[in-house]
Amino acid sequence: MKKKAVFLDRDGVINALVYHQDAGIIDAPFTRSQFKLLPRVPEAIKLLNDLGLRVAIVSNQPGIAKGHLRPDMLKVFERAMLSQIRAAGGRIDGTYYCLHHPEAKVRKLRQHCRCRKPEIGLLELAAAELHVPLAECYMIGDGIPDLLAGLRATCRTIFIGRWKCEICQFTEAPHMRPALVAKDLWEAAQLIRSEMAGAVQVASSPNCLVAQA
């Protein structure tokens, strides 16, 4: 099972989600002080690099469209993220963001597009620029749009978090399951390492799916 690249969602996988008390929502960070990498993320990315895998961020980022943050703040977040990953010896080979939203406050960003997950435009672009076939990639995310995009693009999918089969009722495909489940990116990277070495055992039942290294 030869894989060549790993696509990562950002919020909830790379950095922590934030509770915005004023709006009463859990969302991506809006300010620099709110942007914090999750534990062992730089080490996980270095491990993926050491496995010979290309690593790219593919993320819906509608914050600018919704008026939650300034356009330059996305670059501030990216610089902080890349700096911390480089400090641990890791490397990101590309970052791909969808800035659109069908209900955007910013008119030029208000559209239905092919790049917003669960559509696969971002994944197609990343694969083309990294020169890797989509079928030879992993898609790692913490949300249903990530998994649907990965499945539609023929990637091998990994869900970050606690998979509950009740989630399936909210998806467009009730039979949809991630290939693997991990509590965080570090565990996901270890599962990939084990899988590439042929050592992962996947146990499934009619009601759940669990991956164990």
**Residue 11's CB: how many other CB atoms inside 10 A?**
22
Helix (H) or strand (E) holding 90: none
Under a CB-based contact definition with an 8 Å cutoff, are residues 55 and 92 in contact? yes
Q: DSSP character for 201?
A: E
> 113: Cβ–Cβ under 8 A, 6 or more apart, which residues?
98, 100, 119, 121
Under a CB-based contact definition with an 8 Å cutoff, are residues 187 and 198 in contact? no
Residues acting as catalytic residues: 9, 11
